[in-house]
Structure 1
Amino acid sequence: MVFLLACPIGRTAAVQMVRQRTCGPFISVLFLERRRWVNLLQITKLVGKPMRIANCWRSVLLLALCRAVPTWAAQSLPDAGSLQHGAPMAPPARLPVPGKPLPAEAIIDGPAEAGPTVTVRRFVLDARISLDAAVVQAAVAPYLNRPVRYDELLAATRAVALAYRQAGWVVSAVLPEQDISDGEVRITVANAVFGGVAMRGGEPFGLRLQKIESYISAQQTPLQPLRTDALERALLLIDDLPGVSATGVLRAGQYAGETDLLVQLEPSSRQTGDISLDNTGARSTGYQRALANWNKPGLLTWGDQFSTNLIHTFTSYQSDGSDYQRVGYSLPVGYDGWRLALGGSVFSYRLVSSEFAGLGFYGDSDAWDVELTYPLVRRQNKNLYLMARAERKHFNNEGAGTTVSRYRLEEQTWGLRGNMFDDLGAGASTTGSLLVGSGYLDLRDSPTLSTDATTTATNGTFTRLRYSASREQGLGRGFSLFTAVNGQTADKNLDSSEKFYLGGSNGVRAYPSSEGSGYQGFVLNLEARWKPTADWQLAALYDYGYVTVNHDNSYSGASTLNEYALKGYGLSAAWRGARNQTLALTWARRIGDNANATTAGNDQDGTYYRERFWLSASMAF
């Protein structure tokens, strides 16, 4: 077995080790005189004459695994941080999809009628609620300073009512009897008053009428002028509760001038989940992944949800690889959309690829997180959420009978995420997020502390900024263009768990998972999509990624390659069945070569495939 490592030891020390044969009987050393680095250690394990691993060799191995390894020289060693790149510690909640607005009164213009005319100099509104003067002026401008008939005055009245409704108010506008010989027209605007809430349907998961009223009254005070946008927000917040489907309709209230909201509640699924298989894992722990997700609403109280996520990776010849388990619990806080989520996860791995299988590399990590979210904007066609999250993670990596690294990481994250829908072209959807995190990496209990201090200096506080944006623009006849960008930057070199990665099924798809890591980078994905039927989607794709490895690359032994790009193109096909089954296939081919290839010309996972296929299959229940 041949194991390629990069090790920051001096030439004299290395020569002495070879001469004394204390690091094993067969070690060949390749020196770079300018860097005084031993770049490759070829360790050959002979049958019947085991290598003497103790003493000096264990120290050499430990040094070889430190964060100062120049990635261009040899294959990178995966660890608990980089291997979880495909299994995020705290999966983000799904953003809402567009829904149906509250029914609005239709405004129908009748045919023009002949009759006397009057020239209107200005319109005066008699209203309890005032609109912006510019909005009113725009509504009545077509009827000013020209002769208008009575039916056109009625049209101007309806235009005023429409302006109020577009501003979120429920009103009726009338044209009272008056003398308009002086060219001034008065329009009376009567605001509807919110009377109260009525509920139809069952009481799913304990969501009783008083709780419905609490959500509504948090947005719309009874016996006050009625705002449709306030009621819309309240209904959407109720509908967002797990296990609940809510719709509403306005109807005449019990008293004159009042309008009530009738809420129709329907219980949605008592539980949801999915199982899936794909080949998007890391080669070192197994390409194949088996995933399962399960969500149970109403476990303890109204509006709460328990969730669990499981991921197991394996190979065709080895069932061991990695295991990820996460449990989460969330519940509403108050009646204005606040939601608190608690979560915990554990991860364990063993390197099973041919380079590492016989060397006993394994590790684990655990994480705890708490997250608070609030909908700053909750509408049918646009949403914006504020979020704050605190995480604590512990990592442990072992190899060759010794601790390679052991450390903890704490991070607090604040940010915004949202989406919107518009009617441009054949319709479009846009999503985005902006997250700022501040954290602390503690290497005090790790053997890598001293090496880190003289090289990458990841120990201590850090700040990073993460961002993402995407847009799918409809073109008509089933065609659309999809554009997405995501990336991050930071104020210092980062640990493997916090780095940005270019490769993988969600990045530059022509490269393996976790290829191209650095403290800063971005990935651009472009797709031309076509839906020939409701079940199928075909796409041609292009990916481009750029990464900067180190923020500070001035330490001794740092790689001269600190920035590079990866790119590729390909095709994809996806199918969704009537029972929520999905199948997806992506073919991707790299453009150019990997600037960060190993000395053998391979990617950092030890393979070289000019073309890659990504497969996935899932079933929801």
Structure 2
Amino acid sequence: MQSSFPTSVRSGWPLVRWSLIMASTACAPYVCAATLPNAGQLLNEYQQTVPAEPQSTEPPPAFELPTETRQIADSALRVTLTAVRFSGDIALAQKENLQARVKPVLGKTLDHAGLQQIADALTRYLRGRGYVLARAYLPRQDLTDGVLEIALMQGRLESGKQRIEVGGTTRSNPERLRAIAASALPEGEVLRAEDLERALLLINDQPGVSARSALERGTQPGTSRLLVDAKAGQRVSGGVSADNYGNRSTGTARLNAQVSLNDPLGIGDQLTLGASKTTGSDIFGASYSLPLTPSGLRLQVGASYLRYDVDQQQFRSLDLRGNARTASIGLSYPLIRSRLQNLYVTAGYEHKALEDRALGSNLRDRSLDNFTFGLSGNRFDDFASGGVTDAGVSLTLGKLDLSGNRADAFADARTAGSDGRFEKVNLRVSRLQNLGAGSDWSLYAGLSAQWADQNLDSAEKFLLGGPAGVRAYPIGEAAGDHGWLGTLEVRRMIDTGIPQLRVQALGFLDTGRVWLHQDRWQGSENNATGRNRYDLNAVGAGVNVWFDRWTLRTAVARTLGDNPGRSVNGLDADSRSSDWRAWIQASVAF
């Protein structure tokens, strides 16, 4: 079949191909004014353009504790306290220095209610220290000498299988849920708050399970039983969204969908399918996860496929197209799981196969094999009216293989030298702080960063522009081997008086720095200023709206200063020159 390309292009294809390969590696000014889009870049952008959900500074509610049974008060009792002695779990009194807490009441004359208040105060104190079932009570005694006896019980669950009872109706076997709780509640040990919270939260972490719990008195003295009422949650959940977060070369308007089948096999598993569509790209993904142990170890496997073709005017004649295929497997485990703080450890492997084509021939054929190890967590506190801190760190040990295209490998050897092994570290930390008790105002501050030991493939670079970065710049702006991004937002919740409708207004400042290349080479900085390191800054405002299952996010940002990374024609990464960017996303969950 006769080629549709002009004869001049076809006859000069080896030279064109070489120029394109060099452009995709170094993007020399004489070849292109804007960076050639490629599969690794588009995959990287897709993975980084989903802003985190707004956090709440309120931790999950506390769990229900057993009610107290008290003696009938003696209204005629009056006693002047000369001393307080403890009985029962005396070691607890010594460990928590309870004598110091009762010292202020010595010498006072109290009635029965006053004595009971002392015991109640000690109970609250011990439970606040994490002894969930601890109890201080007044046994029958003779108070003629003014010595008050307070009995202490640390509190334990009953021994045996009956210590945990799971009721309700779920797709999961109740014995499996009981085993989850039992893994966090060692038999015969004192019941601590962190153990109880871990047990209940691990159950609620199971897909398709919604559980409530309570404690009731056990049949054995000083013991309790854990009652778990488990109900089936949503069998199917997910959402649909539309946004303008796409790369201009393949279409900024995106339509996204995700659906999850929760607990389909009744073993705590979950199957998730997702898709995203623009005018010039499609991405499909699937993942499956299941628990490996009752204590929270979880396995996840996944795969995705991205296809693209570039319809941007300056690249149309090159017929740029390609695909990215990924496969992954990983483990996660909650080292700490509680109401107020959580810490997870993760380990995973991912394979990426990236192919780019131009004028019908292979331009790049690359693969990446990455092992990633990470820690992430959060902590709620009451500092200055309360807030939550979120953080994470990961180490990636990877290998880039360029052997699929010898010309690409040769060009890389003469320029970036990215072929082979690499390491990179990613860090993120954020804080959401209430600005006053009961205030509608809050302050959000976030920082993310990346460091690499050598020049990286486009699939691994740190991105500074876009809706999750410096918001006055487009997707793909300032992609570098190293970088950091800082965000400061002042937020205010607006009372609309309409049930289920929440409106949040915000103003923000974004700032960041990028190092385009760890190791520079001649012609590596394809920008108007020739700089490898530079900063981007922006200010803006936005409105977020939540109504029932619907969410709307908007943001408008303006640049502060110029863009040192602009092309020689003064254009940003999307081939435009504008000081303003607007972002919008609408979504509905089901």
CA distance in 2, matches of 1:351, 1:418: 39
8 Å Cα contact 1:81/1:495 also seen in 2: yes
CA distance in 1, matches of 2:183, 2:431: 33
8 Å Cα contact 1:131/1:164 also seen in 2: no
Instruction: Provide the secondary structure at the position in 2 that maps to 1:282.
Output: coil
CA distance in 2, matches of 1:91, 1:370: 21
Aligned counterpart, 2:12 = 54
Residue 48 to residue 54, structure 1, CA distance change in 2 (3 Å): closer
Question: Structure 1 residue 342: deviation in Å?
Answer: 0.5
Counterpart of 2:376, as a letter, is: R
1:331 and 2:313 matched: no
CA distance in 2, matches of 1:157, 1:286: 68
C-alpha distance after superposition, 1:66-91 (max 9, x if no partner): 42235798311111111123322999
1:194 and 2:160 matched: no
CA distance in 2, matches of 1:291, 1:366: 18
1:169-568 equivalence runs, <5 A: 169-176=132-139, 187-195=150-158, 196-202=163-169, 204-205=170-171, 207-222=172-187, 224-314=189-279, 321-446=280-405, 447-475=407-435, 476-533=438-495, 534-553=501-520, 555-559=521-525, 560-568=530-538
Question: Structure 1 residue 326: deviation in Å?
Answer: 0.5
8 Å Cα contact 2:245/2:475 also seen in 1: yes
Greater mean alpha carbon deviation, residues 72-81 or residues 275-284: 72-81
C-alpha distance after superposition, 1:383-420 (max 9, x if no partner): 11111111111111111333221111111111111122
1:67 and 2:25 matched: yes
Instruction: Provide the secondary structure at the position in 2 that maps to 1:355.
Output: helix
CA distance in 1, matches of 2:183, 2:151: 29
8 Å Cα contact 2:51/2:467 also seen in 1: no
8 Å Cα contact 1:90/1:343 also seen in 2: no
C-alpha distance after superposition, 1:486-512 (max 9, x if no partner): 121111111100000100011111000
CA distance in 1, matches of 2:485, 2:77: 64
CA distance in 1, matches of 2:292, 2:478: 41
C-alpha distance after superposition, 1:168-218 (max 9, x if no partner): 34133234466889997653212433131223321x11x233222211221
Residue 363 to residue 162, structure 1, CA distance change in 2 (3 Å): same
Residue 118 to residue 581, structure 1, CA distance change in 2 (3 Å): closer
CA distance in 2, matches of 1:127, 1:619: 54
Correspondent of 1:161 among 123, 126, 129: 123
CA distance in 2, matches of 1:457, 1:137: 69
8 Å Cα contact 2:469/2:510 also seen in 1: yes
Q: Give me the TM-score of the superposition, normalised by structure 2.
A: 0.87
Greater mean alpha carbon deviation, residues 149-158 or residues 73-82: 149-158
1:598 and 2:564 matched: no
Greater mean alpha carbon deviation, residues 128-137 or residues 415-424: 128-137
Correspondent of 1:613 among 562, 575, 582: 582
Greater RCO structure (CA 8 Å; 6+ sep): 2
Instruction: Provide the secondary structure at the position in 1 that maps to 2:47.
Output: coil
8 Å Cα contact 1:525/1:544 also seen in 2: yes
8 Å Cα contact 1:90/1:369 also seen in 2: no
RMSD of aligned C-alpha atoms?
Answer: 3.1
Aligned counterpart, 1:34 = none
Q: Give me the TM-score of the superposition, normalised by structure 1.
A: 0.83
Aligned counterpart, 1:99 = 60
C-alpha distance after superposition, 1:316-354 (max 9, x if no partner): xxxxx1111110000111111111111001111111111
Correspondent of 1:571 among 532, 541, 548: 541
**Structure 2: gaps of 5 or more residues:** 496-500
8 Å Cα contact 1:478/1:532 also seen in 2: yes
C-alpha distance after superposition, 1:360-402 (max 9, x if no partner): 1111111111111111111112211111111111111111333
CA distance in 2, matches of 1:115, 1:186: 15
Question: Structure 1 residue 425: deviation in Å?
Answer: 3.9
8 Å Cα contact 2:309/2:320 also seen in 1: yes
C-alpha distance after superposition, 1:220-261 (max 9, x if no partner): 244554334322211111111111100101112244443111
Aligned counterpart, 2:498 = none
Of all paired residues, the percent bearing the same amino acid is: 31
Greater mean alpha carbon deviation, residues 461-470 or residues 81-90: 81-90
8 Å Cα contact 2:66/2:217 also seen in 1: no
Residue 92 to residue 572, structure 1, CA distance change in 2 (3 Å): closer
CA distance in 2, matches of 1:90, 1:591: 22
8 Å Cα contact 1:275/1:291 also seen in 2: yes
CA distance in 2, matches of 1:247, 1:617: 32
C-alpha distance after superposition, 1:520-563 (max 9, x if no partner): 1111111111111342111111111110111122x333334110
Greater mean alpha carbon deviation, residues 508-517 or residues 529-538: 529-538
Question: Structure 1 residue 55: deviation in Å?
Answer: 5.3
Residue 468 to residue 55, structure 1, CA distance change in 2 (3 Å): closer
Greater mean alpha carbon deviation, residues 506-515 or residues 96-105: 96-105
Question: Structure 1 residue 134: deviation in Å?
Answer: 5.0
Question: Structure 1 residue 571: deviation in Å?
Answer: 1.2
Residue 93 to residue 618, structure 1, CA distance change in 2 (3 Å): closer
Instruction: Provide the secondary structure at the position in 1 that maps to 2:383.
Output: coil
Aligned counterpart, 1:28 = none
C-alpha distance after superposition, 1:37-76 (max 9, x if no partner): xxxxxxxxxx988545435533542443242235798311
Counterpart of 1:432, as a letter, is: A
Aligned counterpart, 1:581 = 550
CA distance in 1, matches of 2:482, 2:364: 23
Instruction: Provide the secondary structure at the position in 2 that maps to 1:88.
Output: helix
Counterpart of 1:482, as a letter, is: Y
Question: Structure 1 residue 481: deviation in Å?
Answer: 1.1
C-alpha distance after superposition, 1:89-115 (max 9, x if no partner): 999999998322222367999999994
Counterpart of 2:586, as a letter, is: A
Instruction: Provide the secondary structure at the position in 2 that maps to 1:493.
Output: coil
CA distance in 2, matches of 1:501, 1:495: 13
Question: Structure 1 residue 356: deviation in Å?
Answer: 0.9
Counterpart of 1:101, as a letter, is: A
Question: Structure 1 residue 132: deviation in Å?
Answer: 6.6
CA distance in 1, matches of 2:89, 2:425: 48
